[in-house]
Amino acid sequence: MNKQTDQLTDVFISDEVLMMCHNLALLTEKEEVAALLIGQKIIHEYGTTVSVTALSIPPRGEIKKDRVEIMSEDLVNAMEDAKHFSCIKGANLNVIGWYHSHPHITVWPSNVGKKANLQTQLNLQNMDSCFIGIICSSYNTDTTTMMKEMKTVCFQAKQMNGTVQRIDVKFQVAPTTCTSQLSFGVIVKHIETLYDELIKNYNEANEGDISPMAQLHNDSVYTLSGIHMLETVAKPMLQMLETQRESSTKRIQSLQTKLEQLSLGINDEQYCDGTNNNNVDQENSDDSSEGLITSVQIKNQPKDIKKGKKSSMVSSPV
């Protein structure tokens, strides 16, 4: 493949994938979480554009505060998920990146953690030079403003002068009309996995003869952990669904009104400048009745071009 076309030029991340990344980062406050990014590569004359549209969340084999690993079987399972998503979305999707969180630390950790992240990224880029990495920092306090902040960065790695260097990659957030059931299914499945882990830890802690105080402590930890899951993921998802329901209801009412008008032969289509289609038709009929000179003058005037609405892309700070 041509080096120029194999060079990463643009990265687009759908807003629902970014929402899922933030939810995952908030779901576990004391351990890192990881996921694999699914999307497609678009190769053009000047390079390659990567578009991330879905996530594959593997089960956590090793639960630690300062480390998370992507195993080979996780990649295989993510490839199977990509095939499944391709059938649903009708697009050729592949595994094109990985994601992990940094709870209670900056988005770029200490040198030891940074080297581990960059080495993992470099190893993954051996499979695909356009493979990207995303890190989301959560539960971290800005020392200047003393406020909680959440930062998300996109990066790649490159071997230079015997060391692995970080390459910052700018990305844009691609808006979607509504959150898909597929994305909700991924999040719900992950919540179920974490809840199973919570029950397992609770049962293991209560094995054998334990004191009433220890039992009370275990019950409290179990309850607080469950409430934390509800507060950080389930409640925001419910609020978002209610907002989308209201928006969809208004959209349905608008379409029903338009359908009734069309059935009655009424055309109330509005142009971009706010003028009504019926008014324009009336003006055209008036102009045509003014004679040959008027029609020649109108013919020589430049015609208004009705432009389509473009999808906006909102830049996200890196």
Q: Which domain holds residue 51?
A: 8-180
Please count the structural domains in the chain.
2
Please report whether residue 313 resides in a domain.
no
CB neighbour burial string for 125-162, b if at least 16 within 10 angstroms, e if fewer:
beebebbbbbbbbbbbeeeeeeeeeebbbbbbbeeeee
Q: Are 203 and 246 contained in the same domain?
A: yes
Please report whether residue 301 resides in a domain.
no
Q: Are 112 and 243 contained in the same domain?
A: no
Please report whether residue 286 resides in a domain.
no
Please give the pLDDT value at position 235: 80
Please report whether residue 290 resides in a domain.
no
Over its length of 318 residues, how does the chain's per-residue pLDDT go in tens digits?
555 556 888 999 998 888 888 888 887 788 888 899 999 998 888 889 999 998 888 877 666 666 777 888 888 989 998 998 888 888 889 999 999 988 888 887 666 567 778 888 888 888 888 999 999 988 887 778 778 788 899 999 988 888 888 889 999 999 876 666 666 677 777 778 778 888 888 898 888 888 989 999 999 999 998 888 788 777 877 887 788 788 889 989 999 999 998 988 765 555 444 455 555 455 444 544 444 333 333 334 444 434 443 333 333 333
Please give the pLDDT value at position 266: 66
Please give the pLDDT value at position 149: 81
What distance in Å separates the CA atoms of residue 23 and residue 59, rounded to the nearest whole number? 16
Q: Are 40 and 154 contained in the same domain?
A: yes
Pairing of strands 132-141, 94-103: parallel
Please report whether residue 185 resides in a domain.
no
| Listed residues 126, 151, 180: the one ending a domain | 180
Q: Are 154 and 14 contained in the same domain?
A: yes
Q: Are 173 and 222 contained in the same domain?
A: no
Q: Are 176 and 211 contained in the same domain?
A: no
Q: Are 103 and 208 contained in the same domain?
A: no
Q: Are 105 and 215 contained in the same domain?
A: no
Q: What is the 3-state secondary structure (H, E, C) of the chain?
A: CCCCCCCEEEEEEEHHHHHHHHHHHHHCCCCCCEEEEEEEEEEECCEEEEEEEEEECCCCCCCCCCCCCCCHHHHHHHHHHHHHHHHHHCCCCEEEEEEEEEECCCCCCCHHHHHHHHHHHHHHHCCCCCCEEEEEEEEEECCCCCCEEEEEEEEEEEEECCEEEEEEECCEEECCCCCCHHHHHHHHHHHHHHHHHHHHHHHHHCCCCCCHHHHHHHHHHHHHHHHHHHHHHHHHHHHHHHHHHHHHHHHHHHHHHHHHHHHCCCCCCECCCCCEHHHHHHHHHHHHCCCHHHHHHHHHCCCCCCCCCCCCCEECCC
Q: Are 87 and 48 contained in the same domain?
A: yes
